[in-house]
Chain A
């Protein structure tokens, strides 16, 4: 597997994640899609780590942290939404409309 295929795989993961985020209506799936695009980004960074190890690793760790936080906070939020409203689609929680 050469470098380009890694990058292509990363782009695919990212694009899939983004598409999933916009196409699905279920909050949980949207969250999952976001995670997928994040892993795409991580993959791309890992590739760059070959040439530029320090910065790329730092980036990876940062993204991992974000992902972990997302899982912890967002997942918990979704769980609460489900518990209160019974379901969790994108239109379940509108309250932030200006």
Chain B
């Protein structure tokens, strides 16, 4: 039955290959059946694996890198962590594939789109099923590639093309850290399999563990869009909206959390690294939430919201609650992809992403409105919805470990509720601003949304089973809190969320326009000018420096020296040619002088 694991990745791989090679020849209809159903098969294979395979099942395929003592195999690993991820990824991907059939229906690049999407599913599944670091890196870069390709899907658009490039390069900066982390781990442990690393994490000295953990975490901040490398994700919204839902909300961007969870024993070996993960996570969560407060582009709000929510996940893992972080990853995958799909539905109907031009869509798009509302309640942490369970789990665990992190987390929860409902009120309430016709999306788009809405509610209720399941990994445990304390914590965060919603209602429904806080608003709207800061700090010096070196050093000095040596030879020749007078007597004279010199030397015995 192990072969099932192979099937999980084989279906989308086949789809990608087939569509790349023959996509142009196939009809849209065929593609729209083929591509989603392959991902569906992959999901079914994951489901069967979930019920039939034991934890720790390893499917060995073939040796990949084997040089000296480096032995990296192409293999697939099935354990609780990869099971959760594989199910989430293939399930959400399947729904988004279906949705895409409707959303991308008119696009001339239909085949290319589905080829990329299948390729992405394949790479992501490879990432989560890999049993060792280099293989994980294959998937890791593979999803990065697909992200690049899909952000820049409409490559004629300058902004889209630039955004794709930016995403890839920023991720590469993170991958630089990831690679060094792999190298350092290998130098110490001589083995890169997760099972070996995790069981031998004690061999690492705390300092080494810190170094390894931080290097790998740099990779995670790139992929999961955390400070300092989060800047690519808002730009990534240039891609088609289902792509944002799948890659930049539900699956790829959570890979960093998955990686930290996967190597948790290494992180746990170094207290500092774990604290840093928690702090980076929670600060990012807060920071991104503040930016989301003032965005007017519907997808940008959701992008910053994603950054913020992934921050929560890191905070959860960082305070030692791996299963809480993973649980939030799991629920987030549903409600965040739903938010994006619903936003996509709005964009599809109106053709704009600017919320100031929306308003009053509640009547025209009832399904979209209701699923959006459910997702927003889930992300805001309203009891009964999935986000409530996972977020409060993280906050409770944070409270037990570090009150400061908990405090920031709770405030962020309030901000989250505010900006989500600001979005809802600006989009679905009030009077229509600047649009005439809107229509509900076709069933091919609404049905996946409804399914996701269902999971956005119920996925929270399985929390106990979820934690129990992940404990099968052996290194995942939650701290127990007193029930009374837990109730107080829940009360605080829920009331903050309700306040957030209330304020949003008061500002955007009662007052119908936002406040202008002057400089604070400008700083937030300018996204704290981080992009500009990086531009001045890295991009400009590199560009200008390279230009200057190219002009003055490469062309000037090095090539100057090369051409200079040529010139010296030529000038020397010219000087010597002055001896060539054309007069035979002069030649005779030189000859005589030479003979005399030679004779003198010979007589003196010097020759």
Contacts and interface: CB of A to CB of B under 8 A. Distances in A.
A and B are partners in one complex rather than unrelated chains: yes
Interface of A: 18, 21-22, 27, 30, 90-91, 93-98
Interface of B: 576-585, 588-589, 592
A2 B580 CA distance: 44
Given A18-B592, A22-B589, A91 B583 contact: yes
Contacts of B578: 98
A98 B579 contact: yes
B581 A97 contact: yes
Nearest to A30: B584
A18 B588 CA distance: 9
A21 B577 CA distance: 23
Contacts of B589: 22
Contact of B584 (A18, A90, A98): A90
A30 B589 CA distance: 13
Given A22-B585, A22-B589, A30-B585, 8 more contacts: A18-B592, A22-B588, A94-B583, A95-B582, A96-B580, A96-B582, A97-B582, A98-B577
Contacts of A96: 580, 582
B580 A97 contact: yes
Nearest to A18: B592
B583 A21 contact: no
29 contacts: A18-B592, A21-B585, A21-B588, A22-B585, A22-B588, A22-B589, A27-B584, A30-B584, A30-B585, A90-B583, A90-B584, A90-B585, A91-B583, A93-B582, A94-B582, A94-B583, A95-B582, A96-B580, A96-B582, A97-B580, A97-B581, A97-B582, A98-B576, A98-B577, A98-B578, A98-B579, A98-B580, A98-B581, A98-B582
Contacts of A94: 582-583
A90 B581 CA distance: 11
B424 to A, nearest CB: 91
A91 B592 CA distance: 20
A21 B581 CA distance: 17
Contacts of A30: 584-585
A36 B94 CA distance: 108
Contacts of A91: 583
A88 B580 CA distance: 20
A19 B588 CA distance: 11
Contacts of A18: 592
Nearest to B586: A90
Nearest to A25: B585
A94 B576 CA distance: 17
7 shortest interchain CB distances as A-B pairs: A98-B580, A98-B577, A97-B582, A94-B582, A96-B582, A97-B581, A90-B583
Contacts of A22: 585, 588-589
B196 to A, nearest CB: 77
Contacts of B576: 98
Nearest to A21: B588
A49 B159 CA distance: 97
A49 B582 CA distance: 38
Contacts of A21: 585, 588
